[in-house]
Chains A and B, each alone.
Chain A
Amino acid sequence: MSRPMISATLAIEKGKVVCADCGRALADAGQTWKRHAVLTSVPIKDLPGAASAVDARAVLRHFACPGCGSLLDTETALPEDPFLDDVVNA
């Protein structure tokens, strides 16, 4: 039987949110996990294919697994905005 999923990159094992690749535990199941990932904020204007009028403050947040470096999630954001909080109930 397959393990419960949160997404293609995150799963639930033994009551924990884990990286689907390496099994590294990030948070208790049912809790927000992003603050336990490694965050890198890349300016949108620096990405390949950026348009001419991109807002210089806009970033693409990368949330990576601290255990294996897999990219777990991304979100477009302005620096002052909070993380998007996705929670799958345990």
Chain B
Amino acid sequence: MDPITFSIIRHRLFRVVEEAVITLKHVSGTAITNEGHDLMVSLYRADGSLLMGGVGFLHHLTSAAEACKSIIRRFAGQINEGDLFLLNDPFTAALHTSDIYLVSPIHHQGKLIAWSACFVHVYDIGAMNPGGFAPDAQDIFTEGFSSPGIKLIDRGQLRQDVWDTLLNMVRGPEMVALDLRSMIACNNVAKDRLLALVAKYGEATVDQACLTLIEQSETRLRQRLRDLPNGRWQSRQYLEVKGETYRVILTMTKQDDTLVFDFSGSSPQSKYAVNCTRWASLGGLFAPLFPLLCYDITWNEGVIRPITMIAPEGSIVNCTRPAPVSVATVGAIQSVNNAACSAIGKMLAASNRYADEATAVWHANHFAIFMFGTNQRGGQSIGILTETFAGAGGARTFADGVDIGGEIPNPISRMANVETIEAAFPIRYLFRRRLQDSGGPGTHRGGTGGEMAIVPHDAPDGGIHYVLSGKGSKFPQSEGLSGGYPGAINDYVWVHAPQDADRSFANSLATMPGEKQPISWGVFPLMHKDALYVRWNGGGGIGDPLRREPAKVMQDVVDGIVSARAADEVYGVILNQGAVDANATQQRRAELRRTRMAGGKTA
């Protein structure tokens, strides 16, 4: 095939996915999709293997491939032109029940030639807690409906009985219907555009380009792996729920042109919903692998072939049915993301050629707060606080991480405006801003996380309730690299205010009146004059903090990003009347080095 035609087809395939994402957003009506970009669209070959991975949450790219393959097996002989299937069972392929996959076979002249697949986190799934995350769930049976595969559209005709049954099992059926219709529209656009490509270039030519694209990705990733040093890197993540601590342990081994991710040693599966299934772990490790190792390689089946995963059955990263998994995406999956990001970062940092591509762990812990209740218009609202998608960049080997700079597993994640949330829920923000001392210290500092506080406002019921799946308020999770510190930890505080309290202009947790109670897991009220304070984690730092340029430390102090205490104790920078005291800084840094050499004992 001539290289020009190949290149055009490759770009067109990517544009197909891009346009399908735009369609999905145009039709969907939820903040989690439109604002947070908790979505994914990709194309798959006729056998279900990944052809063109799209943007959105990248841990879905491989899981949706398994969804296509599962549908192919389950519906053998019954897959027709114009069909569309729904799958959301985590023990079949999905990540958790509320991330519904809709997959469409694409036929050309009666022959199955490809699949399109997409997901959104639907408005509700009928779990015991509204919004999909169910911290109270004890098993999969209380996490809403879950289907290992059902035909929703048969030869172009919506199966009304199936549609009505699904919507009969959820809260806010009109919003869930909109979610499902957005995915149907998305798949329709993907199908139309792919068929237009086939019509222009011919099926054989497009198929040959797809095969070449996959071979090219495999060849290029294997070559990149050969360029990297052989070795073994470890990382560890702690999760805590209600006093129980779980570990995700990763040993990543690179040999020649292969990479093995071994999660042996990870904790047994939990009774809480932080577990994830095998397919979810596989997606979890690929989410950082795609952008960190394949930033210039098309994300498809060719990238998957050199990778092996070992995930012990019955562990928190490969749980067995009927373990609860509704919090998986912000639980074990995110820890797998973080562990893989850390190990890959270490491997890149060990290469003269690729050290500039290394990164500390980015925003490592979604706080996933779903609010629900009667809104200011008398209707019912369910929705996520999208700040959980705001993220924080990990430091690079040549620069600081980006403050509130997104996250590795989702290149397009973002948060909504304050006004968007205030319009949807009877709440008011007291403040929302960057969080001091949240970026992991280092020669290059991690990007900051943020902090915010909300209070009830114009609430017919006096307030609202929220579901909190805060499994990560005990341990740092965004690890540093090469001597850099981890980013700060999430925090959730319920401020019990007295009824005569005036917190109208409170601009910090310290100035909010009332008893402050740390919380992390379950359903909580936000009523009357109480407040909810949340802070989210920063990115990890890279390199010894004592090597950071003193002028940068001073600027961070001036900007309120770093405290004077951290400047002194961690960075060894002494400020005097708005300037760096060079001599005092030199002495302080020498003193801190001597303390380190004495094992922490001050001279």
Contacts and interface: CB of A to CB of B under 8 A. Distances in A.
A72 B482 CA distance: 6
Contacts of B234: 84-86
B476 interface: yes
B238 A66 contact: no
B596 A5 contact: no
* Residue among A42, A44, A48, A88 having the largest count of chain B Cβ atoms under 10 Å: A48
Interface stretch (B69-77, B304-312, B499-507, B565-573): B565-573
B535 A51 contact: yes
A34 to B, nearest CB: 11
Interface in B222-248: 229-236, 238, 240, 245, 247
B160 interface: no
Contacts of A54: 473-475, 489
A76 B520 contact: no
Nearest to A40: B600
Interface in A13-65: 38-42, 44, 47-55, 58, 60, 62, 64-65
Given A54-B474, A76-B486, A68 B350 contact: no
B209 interface: no
A69 B601 CA distance: 13
Contact of B489 (A42, A50, A64): A50
B598 to A, nearest CB: 8
B251 to A, nearest CB: 8
Interface in B193-237: 229-236
Interface of B: 229-236, 238, 240, 245, 247, 346, 349-352, 355, 397, 435-438, 443, 473-477, 479-486, 488-493, 516, 518, 520, 535, 542-547, 563, 565-566, 569-570, 592-600
Contacts of A85: 232, 234
Contacts of A44: 475-476, 489
Contacts of B543: 8-9
Contacts of A6: 350
7 contacts: A8-B349, A8-B483, A9-B483, A40-B600, A52-B493, A60-B486, A84-B234
A86 B231 contact: yes
Contacts of B546: 70-71
B485 A74 contact: yes
Q: Which of B438, B491, B535 has the most CB of A within 10 A?
A: B491
Contact of A52 (B443, B475, B516): B516
Contact of B483 (A5, A47, A73): A73
B350 A88 contact: yes
Nearest to B240: A55
B544 A70 contact: yes
Contacts of B437: 48-49
Contacts of B547: 70
| Closest 7 A/B residue pairs (Cβ) | A49-B437, A69-B593, A40-B600, A71-B483, A51-B491, A48-B566, A64-B596
Contacts of B491: 51-53
Contacts of A55: 238, 240, 245, 474-475
B597 A64 contact: yes
A5 B350 CA distance: 5
Nearest to B480: A74
Contacts of A47: 485, 570
Contacts of A2: 352
Contact of A72 (B346, B349, B483, B592): B483
A38 B233 CA distance: 20
B189 to A, nearest CB: 44
B495 to A, nearest CB: 12
Contacts of B351: 5
Contacts of B397: 8
Contacts of B594: 69
A60 B485 contact: yes
A53 B518 contact: yes
B520 A53 contact: yes
A87 B406 CA distance: 31
Contacts of B563: 48-49
Nearest to A86: B233
A75 B597 contact: no
A89 B479 CA distance: 23
B597 A87 contact: no
A27 to B, nearest CB: 14
Nearest to B542: A8
A55 B345 CA distance: 26
Contact of B352 (A4, A58, A73): A4
Contact of B481 (A4, A7, A38, A76): A7
